Amino acid sequence: MSLLDRMIIGVLPVIPRPIVGAFSRRYIAGLTLEDALREVRALKQAGCRATLDILGESIRSREEAIPARDAYLTLLDDIHAAGVEVNVSLKPTQFGLTFDRAFATDNIRAVVARARERGGFVRIDMEDASTTDATLEVYRTLRREFSNLGVVLQAALRRTTADAVALAATQTNVRLCKGIYIEPYRISWRDREIIRQNYLHLLEILLRGGSYVGIATHDEYLVWGAMRLIQDLGLPPEKYEFQMLLGVTPRLREVVVASGHPMRVYVPFGKQWYAYSSRRLRENPGMAGMIAKDVLGLSPDRRRR
Ligand SMILES: Cc1cc2nc3c(=O)[nH]c(=O)nc-3n(C[C@H](O)[C@H](O)[C@H](O)COP(=O)(O)OP(=O)(O)OC[C@H]3O[C@@H](n4cnc5c(N)ncnc54)[C@H](O)[C@@H]3O)c2cc1C
């Protein structure tokens, strides 16, 4: 962790809300669905698909999970009515995963069923490693009932090769990312180069196994490696898509789109932006450094979405 990163983490609790808001503005579509739809339409003009995420924190009671589920049901109806592609990502802890797995499964089932009615797709995001087994179990349970459902694997975790092999055997729909959470050394690779090599290794397992892969990264080395693999395997664009977060490396995103590869952008929106932004900053100090560089005008992607 660099000195700048450490300084940012140290002062985070006392950074005024408007400043955290300024950090996050380009990474979050806004507070309302209208803000998110505006972003989705602009991305479409730029040749990109989108997945919508309603910002929310891990919740601790049934009373909090039900409104989170209902917000997603309404979102699916609204984006269908707005005539944009119905594609959402959700965090299983928002649906009660940490305290009642069966209850969370039922809540997510309701969302996936509604998405199917609307011709849409649901991606279950992957959270910290304490939830990996439960998330994969929810996914496997619901995948037996629905085909419009995908999950996420994290290349930083030591366990993921086994998970990728198991999932590849079922020719599933997987988003592959490095993993945002700082996990114990015992279960997680730390070395950046190992995580990169592991990412490409996992990507190959999934693509060769016939899975549809969302290649979620802004790391140019991985984008290059993925393009090379896609070419070597002779894969058509129906078998994969690149994925990036809103506001992150838009210049690289444009290069990927211009090369003719499908691209989906993750578009978070909603009122809980503060918790999301500060949690992200705290969880990944490296990201804090990147954002600080951006705010200080030291990033080449400044002022672009
Ligand atoms: C579409 C999508 C969905 C994701 N879903 C999940 C998930 O479900 N679970 C999970 O654990 N993680 C998820 N992630 C996050 C992912 O795990 C990584 O933490 C994140 O993408 C950074 O890794 P990287 O591969 O982009 O490489 P890095 O080496 O971290 O980043 C490469 C370059 O991208 C830029 N960059 C990356 N992130 C940021 C940022 N936030 N702000 C500014 N610049 C940045 C920097 O210039 C950096 O040098 C997702 C990422 C994407 C793109």
pLDDT tens per residue, range 49-65: 999 999 987 788 999 99
Name residue 89's amino acid.
S
- Long-range CB contacts for residues 249-258, cutoff 8 Å, separation at least 24: 249/218, 249/301, 250/301, 250/304, 250/305, 251/300, 251/301, 251/304, 252/218, 252/220, 252/223, 253/48, 254/46, 256/223, 257/46, 257/47, 257/48
Q: How confident is the model at residue 254 (pLDDT cuts 50, 70, 90)?
A: very high
Does the annotation count 125 as an active-site position?
Answer: yes
**Is residue 244 within 6 Å of ligand 1 at its C-beta?**
yes
pLDDT tens per residue, range 22-59: 667 778 999 999 999 999 999 999 999 999 999 987 78
**Is residue 263 within 6 Å of ligand 1 at its C-beta?**
no
Q: How confident is the model at residue 305 (pLDDT cuts 50, 70, 90)?
A: low
Q: Which of 175, 196, 253, 264 is catalytic?
A: 175
**Is residue 217 within 6 Å of ligand 1 at its C-beta?**
yes
**By alpha-carbon position, which residue is closest to atom 49 of ligand 1?**
219
Mean pLDDT to the nearest integer, 220-225: 98
Mean pLDDT of all residues belonging to the chain: 90
Does the annotation count 77 as an active-site position?
Answer: no
Q: What six digits make up the tokens of 17?
A: 């809300």
Helix axes 273-283, 3-11, angle to 10 degrees: 140
CA–CA distance, 79 with 114 (Å, rounded to integer): 12
H or E element that contains 88: strand 87-90
Q: Which of 5, 53, 114, 125 is catalytic?
A: 125
Which ligand 1 atom is the nearest neighbour of the CA of 180? 19
Q: Which of 58, 177, 253 to mutate to test the pocket of ligand 1 (most atoms within 8 A of CB)?
A: 177
**Is residue 95 within 6 Å of ligand 1 at its C-beta?**
no
Cα 217 to ligand 1 centre (Å):
6
At 157 the pLDDT is 98
CA distances 160 to 17, 157, 201, Å, are: 37, 6, 11
At 108 the pLDDT is 98
